[in-house]
Structure 1
C-alpha cells in the first residue's frame, strides 16, 4: 500500500555502511520504522540524510506492507522549515530530550491524528517562541492527555498527588507526593503553552517537577525508559 502523509522524525540509526533505519510518527499510520538504503553516501538522490534530523516535519510517500517489518520511503521533503530549533543551543537540547520521550512513550502503529497534531503544533510553537523555560514541563504534562493518563483535576485543591491513580487526595498513601513542586505543578494543568511560560519556578522546583513527571510516565507506560538526554537537559536549565 502506498501512503502519503505528514510525518515527524523520532529517531534514526545507522545501519551497515550507508543505510539508515528511521522511525517516524506519521499522521496516517502512527509510529513506523523505515529502511532508507544508501542515504549516507548519496549526494544526488531524492532522499538525503539531512532530512532525518530529530523532530523534522516531513511530507512522505511510502510503501507500507503492514507486516511488522521495516517499511520503505519512496519520497520525502521538509514540510515545515524550522527557523531556530536547531540553531538555538537550548532548543537543540530540548529537541533531543523530546525526541527520546516520544520514542520511549509512543508505540502505536495506527492512526492518531489528535496526537500527531499535538506533536506538530508543539514543535512549531517551540520554534517560533523565545520564552521557553517551562516548555518541557508543559509538553510532558499535555502529552499525558493523548497517552491516556492526564491527571484528574476534580480534586485539585487537595495537597497530595497520587502518581499511580493520577489524582489528588487529602491523605498520603503509596505513590503519593506533596510539596512546593506539586503546588506549582497544578498550575500547568488545564492551561495553554503561553500561560505556562509565565509560571515562575526556581531551578530546584522545575527539576523536582520533571523528576516527578518521569516517574509518572514510568508508572503508566509499560517498558518506559528515562531519556539518556536528561542529564544534558538538567545542565541547560540549571
Structure 2
C-alpha cells in the first residue's frame, strides 16, 4: 500500500552504485529499512545529503508488511534544520545519539510518543543556544523512560551512589564496578529533575561531563548486550575534553 509518514534517519548504507539502504525510525511503522535510489543529476529528488544521521524527513512509501526492505516513492527533509548540520558540537552529539538509537530501537511497530520525544528533542537542539553541551546527557537519561529502564534517582536524606545494576541510588558503595561515584550521582539526580529548556542551569566541568557520558553509555550497555562499543563516544570526548 502507498503510505505517508514522518521519519528520523538512523543510518544509511551504500548499496551498489546508485542506491542506499536507509534505516529509519518512523512515526507510523517504527523501525524500518528503506531502499532509496540515488540519482546524480542536478534535478535529483533523492540526494544523499538529506539522508544524514538524525535528519528529519517526510516520505511516501510503498509499504508491505511481508517485505524486509521497503521502497520509497518520495522523500524530503521536513522540517529542515537551521543550525545542527553546521555546528560541530551539535553534529557530534547527533552522531552519538544516532548510534545509540540505531542499536536500541528495534521494534517494527508504531510508537508515536517515542517518535515525538525524539523529534521534538532534535528540533530543540537545532535552535538551542544555552545548555547545548548537556543535551546528550539529558536525552540519554530521558530515553531510558521509553526503553523501560529509567533510573530511580530518589533519595531519602542520604548521600549515595547510583548503582547501575539496581537502577537506583543506594546509601552504600556497591561491591561491583557498575556505579556512579558520589559527585556524579548528585549531578545525575540534578539532571533527572531538569526540563529541556533548563539545561543551561546544569553546571558541569568537562571532566564530569565526560564521566557522565561514559557512565550513561555503560548503563545502556548493561541493558542491551548487543550494544557493544559506541564508536562516536570518542568524538564526543575529543570535543568536550580540554
TM-score, normalised on structure 1? Answer: 0.93
Find out whether 1:223 has 2:226 as its counterpart: yes
Query: CA shift at 1:183, angstroms?
Result: 1.3
Query: CA shift at 1:156, angstroms?
Result: 6.5
Query: CA shift at 1:40, angstroms?
Result: 4.9
RMSD: 1.6
The 5 Å alignment of 1:76-155 reads 76-131=75-130, 132-155=132-155
Residues 159-189 of structure 1, C-alpha deviation per residue, up to 9 Å, x if partnerless?
Answer: 0212122111222333343221111111011
* Matched residue SS, 1:197: helix
Contact 2:39–2:46, Cα closer than 8 Å, also in 1: no
Find out whether 1:166 has 2:167 as its counterpart: yes
Aligned residue number for residue 204 of structure 1: 207
C-alpha distance in structure 1 between counterparts of 2:206 and 2:231, whole Å: 20
Aligned residue number for residue 26 of structure 1: 26
C-alpha distance in structure 2 between counterparts of 1:98 and 1:33, whole Å: 18
Contact 2:89–2:133, Cα closer than 8 Å, also in 1: no
User: How many residues are aligned here?
Assistant: 237
Q: Which runs of 5+ in 2 are unaligned?
A: none
Instruction: Say if 1:156 and 1:61 are closer, same or farther in 2 by CA, change over 3 A.
Output: farther
Query: CA shift at 1:32, angstroms?
Result: 0.5
TM-score, normalised on structure 2? Answer: 0.92
* Matched residue SS, 2:78: strand
Query: CA shift at 1:70, angstroms?
Result: 0.8
Query: CA shift at 1:86, angstroms?
Result: 0.7
